[in-house]
């Protein structure tokens, strides 16, 4: 019997081909002879096949794909032994880390059901997440430190589509989600590669302005939010395309609308409320409210998924501190679409956001030459996790605070000032 994903007939094949091409030529900028490691839900097989084709056409060495499956994941929670939730496939992640150390690129296809584990035991979910984060660390370090060129794109998984468009029949929901993914990824345009070059240029201009200001901190003020985020010593803003330590300039996220940098792990004060739900490992965490003291979250609440949130925060010491702060205008195309994607790759590009956990060494001046000890001394955070969540809206103002204490308007009502 031939495997035929449900969404095949409702997803525009021409645009899907363009997305695959953009993933390889813009997202990864894959080099001749370079190996590629792909992770994806099994329903995304049509996109993975196209990416593999374009990768080999670009001269890839060896393309290796690893698939996840929702039913298989649920079987673990229904029938797995209790002790199994403290384990993860460390051998797999060690192999991926070895591949990256040997020069392979990494591509992740996102699109899992954001509510997959919402009805499962929160304690088991938290334990499994912690075990997975621990096992994944060798591979995550290669990605977070930008040792390699990497990229994330998305595929309209039917179960994800039904969460985003619950009132539509499944084929209509899939078609709507596919259309939204293609628009946000700029593959609905005649020349997506040229469009990405222009967009990268605009994000580079925003980053250059922020780098020129050399702010000591950012102050976020809005409903439920009064937060001062100190910026790491020697921080550097980035947006759009970034050059990895292997010398390859890639676009890690497709889509992307953000400019981002590294906060100082010890210099975050105040309280902040989320403005969109966070979908984390199959659990929806909504209405997050946290309070920082000395850079550390000392109080955390959520109207939904609070138990999972607090287990995430207990992953390690760095999980309660920030590893990223990112600025996105409220008028970004993803925000303007009016769609809540329940997917961080998209929702973080509709809103300013912060990330718990691991920082990007890339976001330091001369970051490629800094040791982990130097990064820590300059305020960079270290953790097993890196989880973005959204704190921006059209009701949030942001000021940049200079080293002498003066203020510069950065955003007003969610737009660049």
Q: Is the peptide bond before 255 cis (omega within 30 degrees of 0)?
A: yes
Q: Could you report the per-residue pLDDT of 96-120, keeping only the tens digit for each?
A: 999 999 999 999 999 999 999 989 9
pLDDT-derived band at 3, boundaries 50, 70, 90: very low
DSSP state of 360: P
Q: Could you report the per-residue pLDDT of 18-69, keeping only the tens digit for each?
A: 999 999 999 999 999 999 999 999 999 999 999 999 999 999 999 999 999 9
Q: Which strand (E) or helix (H) includes residue 13?
A: helix 13-22
For the record, the structure tokens of 28 come out as: 């990864």
Beta strand 105-110 with 150-154: parallel, antiparallel or unpaired? parallel
d(CA 6, CA 169): 13
For the record, the structure tokens of 263 come out as: 């906060």
**DSSP-derived 3-state class of residue 313:** helix
Residue 186 near residue 400, CB atoms below 8 Å: no
**Residue (of 204, 166, 199) closest to 185 by Cα position:** 199
For the record, the structure tokens of 112 come out as: 């899992």
User: What average pLDDT does range 292-304 have in this prediction?
Assistant: 98
d(CA 148, CA 102): 10
Number of Cβ within a 10 Å radius of residue 78: 8
Beta strand 36-41 with 63-68: parallel, antiparallel or unpaired? parallel
Q: What pTM value is reported for the model?
A: 0.88
d(CA 278, CA 344): 7
**Residue (of 83, 85, 95) closest to 132 by Cα position:** 85
Mean pLDDT of the chain: 95
Q: Find the helix packing angle between 122-144 and 90-101, rounded to 10°.
A: 10
Residue 348 near residue 325, CB atoms below 8 Å: no
pLDDT-derived band at 9, boundaries 50, 70, 90: low
DSSP E strands in 120-222: the ranges are 150-154, 217-222
């Amino acid at each position: 019997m031939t495997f035929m994903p449900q969404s095949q007939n409702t997803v525009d094949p021409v645009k899907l081909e363009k997305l695959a091409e953009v993933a390889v030529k813009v997202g990864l900028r894959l080099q001749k002879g370079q190996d590629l490691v792909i992770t994806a839900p099994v329903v995304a097989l049509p996109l993975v096949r196209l990416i593999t084709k374009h990768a080999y056409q670009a001269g890839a060495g060896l393309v290796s794909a690893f698939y996840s499956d929702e039913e298989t994941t649920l079987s673990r929670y229904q029938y797995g032994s209790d002790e199994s939730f403290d384990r993860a496939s460390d051998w797999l992640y060690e192999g991926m880390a070895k591949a990256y150390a040997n020069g392979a690129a990494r591509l992740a296809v996102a699109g899992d059901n954001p509510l997959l584990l919402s009805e499962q035991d929160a304690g088991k979910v938290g334990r499994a997440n912690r075990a997975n984060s621990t096992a994944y660390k060798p591979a995550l370090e290669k990605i977070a430190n930008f040792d390699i060129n990497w990229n994330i794109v998305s595929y309209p998984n039917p179960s994800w589509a039904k969460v985003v468009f619950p009132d539509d029949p499944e084929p209509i929901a899939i078609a709507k989600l596919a259309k939204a993914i293609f628009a946000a990824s700029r593959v609905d345009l005649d020349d997506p590669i040229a469009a990405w070059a222009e967009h990268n240029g605009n994000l580079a201009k925003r980053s250059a302005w922020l780098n020129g200001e050399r702010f000591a901190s950012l102050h976020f003020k809005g409903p439920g939010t009064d937060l001062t985020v100190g910026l790491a010593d020697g921080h550097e803003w980035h947006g759009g395309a970034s050059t990895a330590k292997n010398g390859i300039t890639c676009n890690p996220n497709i889509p992307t609308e953000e400019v981002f940098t590294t906060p100082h792990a010890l210099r975050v004060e105040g309280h902040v409320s989320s403005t969109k739900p966070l979908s984390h490992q199959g659990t929806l965490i909504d209405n997050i409210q946290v309070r920082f003291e000395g850079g550390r979250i000392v109080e955390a609440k959520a109207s939904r998924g609070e138990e999972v949130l607090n287990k995430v925060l207990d992953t390690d010491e760095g999980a309660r501190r920030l590893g990223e702060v990112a600025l996105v205008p409220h008028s970004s195309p993803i925000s303007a679409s009016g769609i809540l994607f329940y997917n961080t790759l998209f929702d973080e590009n509709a809103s300013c956001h912060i990330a718990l956990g691991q920082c990007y060494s890339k976001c330091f001046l001369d970051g490629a030459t800094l040791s982990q000890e130097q990064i820590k001394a300059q305020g960079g955070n270290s953790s097993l996790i890196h989880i973005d969540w959204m704190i921006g809206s059209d009701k949030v103002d942001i000021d940049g605070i200079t080293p002498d204490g003066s203020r510069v308007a950065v955003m007003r009502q969610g737009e660049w000032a």
